[in-house]
């Protein structure tokens, strides 16, 4: 189970819990949890929850217990090869619904607070979040999931991602709502496979590619076969072939560049840094955690090489500190800043 910066396990918590929050605050936290994981939760509930979280330090402290239960007890259960079997053994739980649900195979989970990271959702437009919460398939912040669609296509969801599936008699369509997916299309000559993003439609002419929804643009990287881009603004169609990637907006497709094979490593839970700057690497790691990762300007341009575990951002940061010869400052449990090694003592 990966560590989450929100809950340091190594005693670096700036505010050791000498006393527990009052019982009624613990109750409130549990009620928020129940509401937020339920399918009835709406965007306004997240806003109210955040307001509650920030209203009093004891609220945040109570919430850390929710997270700890989620990480330490619930996440390991979810990660068992078959949680249904596990929970059935624990208790004769209802089977039909769960079996249906198991169509979505979870390969890994950073679990944490599930679908509602407070920093994560604050930075995302509410409309997108609302769509993501009701999407057919989704992965929470810190999660990497794999799923198999009815046509045999395999889809991996990267952290904080969601997509809808719409399979028609003559068309297999996915709509990427937010985040990033890697697709290996199943063969079906009679039904083209397309992926829609805010900026346009991708038509799979081959088998393996990633699609990443960014703010105002989509990044496509093709690893096998080819993919055709048709933008919503009717720019001329462009075919991107294996080994290449291209970013497009509604109006234009940027020239293709070499696809970085490292971009594929996330499905195995690895972040490959091959000459990334510390800033780029921190931004990438930041996508997998609900906490904030900052970089001091003095060290932001340092180059980093190595492999970092995406499912354990806490360890990844410790490794990074070694690799880049920086120090970690953690003024708050959910706030990590990378600073020059000689700076840390002075502050």
Partner 1 sequence: MLEALQEIGALLRELPPKAAQAFLMAAVCEVPSADVATELGISPRMVRKYVAQVMLRCMLTEAGATARALQDPTFA
Question: CA 244 from chain center: how many Å?
Answer: 24
Interaction between residue 87 and partner 1 (CB under 8 A): yes
Measured from the CB atom, the residue of 12 and 28 that comes closer to partner 1 is: 28
Contact with partner 1 (CB under 8 A) among 8, 83, 294, 309: 83
Interaction between residue 37 and partner 1 (CB under 8 A): yes
| C-alpha triplet 221, 227, 232: angle, nearest 5° | 95
Contact with partner 1 (CB under 8 A) among 29, 135, 227, 299: 29
Q: How far is the CB of 125 from partner 1 (least distance, A)?
A: 24
- By rule CB under 8 A, what count of residues binds partner 1? 41
- Joined tokens for residue 217: 């643009």
Measured from the CB atom, the residue of 115 and 198 that comes closer to partner 1 is: 115
Q: Segment 93-122, which members bind partner 1 (CB under 8 A)?
A: 93-94, 96-98, 101-102
Interaction between residue 56 and partner 1 (CB under 8 A): no
Number of other CB atoms surrounding residue 288 within 10 Å: 29
* Residues in the chain, overall count: 347
Interaction between residue 274 and partner 1 (CB under 8 A): no
Q: How far is the CB of 33 from partner 1 (least distance, A)?
A: 5
> Which residue's entry shows tokens 């990844």?
316
Q: Helix or strand or coil: residue 228? A: strand
Q: Which residues bind partner 1 (CB under 8 A)?
A: 20, 23, 26-27, 29-31, 33-35, 37-40, 62, 65-66, 68-69, 72-74, 76-80, 83-84, 86-87, 90-94, 96-98, 101-102
């Amino acid at each position: 189970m990966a560590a989450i910066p929100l809950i340091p396990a190594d005693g670096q918590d700036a505010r050791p819990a000498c006393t527990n929050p009052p019982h009624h605050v613990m109750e409130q936290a549990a009620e928020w949890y129940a509401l937020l994981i339920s399918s009835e939760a709406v965007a306004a509930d997240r806003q109210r929850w955040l307001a509650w979280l920030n209203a009093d330090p004891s609220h945040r402290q109570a919430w850390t217990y929710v997270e700890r239960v989620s990480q330490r007890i619930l996440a390991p259960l979810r990660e068992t090869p078959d949680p249904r079997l596990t929970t059935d053994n624990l208790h004769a739980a209802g089977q039909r619904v769960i079996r249906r649900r198991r169509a979505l195979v979870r390969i890994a989970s950073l679990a944490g607070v599930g679908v509602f990271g407070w920093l994560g959702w604050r930075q995302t437009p509410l409309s997108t979040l609302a769509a993501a919460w009701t999407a057919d398939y989704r992965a929470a912040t810190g999660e990497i999931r794999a799923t198999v669609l009815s046509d045999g296509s395999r889809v991996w969801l990267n952290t904080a991602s969601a997509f809808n599936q719409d399979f028609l008699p003559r068309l297999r369509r996915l709509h990427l709502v937010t985040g990033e997916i890697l697709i290996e299309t199943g063969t079906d000559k009679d039904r083209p496979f397309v992926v829609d993003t805010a900026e346009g439609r991708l038509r799979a002419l081959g088998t393996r590619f990633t699609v990443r929804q960014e703010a105002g643009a989509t990044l496509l990287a093709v690893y096998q076969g080819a993919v055709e881009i048709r933008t919503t603004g009717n720019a001329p169609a462009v075919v991107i072939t294996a080994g290449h990637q291209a970013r497009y907006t509604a109006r234009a497709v940027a020239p293709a560049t070499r696809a970085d094979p490292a971009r594929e490593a996330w499905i195995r839970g690895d972040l490959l840094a091959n000459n990334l700057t510390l800033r780029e690497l921190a931004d990438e790691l930041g996508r997998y955690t609900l906490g904030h990762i900052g970089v001091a300007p003095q060290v932001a341009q340092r180059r980093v090489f190595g492999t970092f575990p995406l499912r354990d951002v806490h360890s990844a940061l410790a490794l990074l500190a070694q690799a880049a010869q920086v120090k970690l400052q953690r003024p708050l449990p959910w706030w990590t800043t990378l600073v020059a090694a000689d700076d840390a003592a002075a502050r």
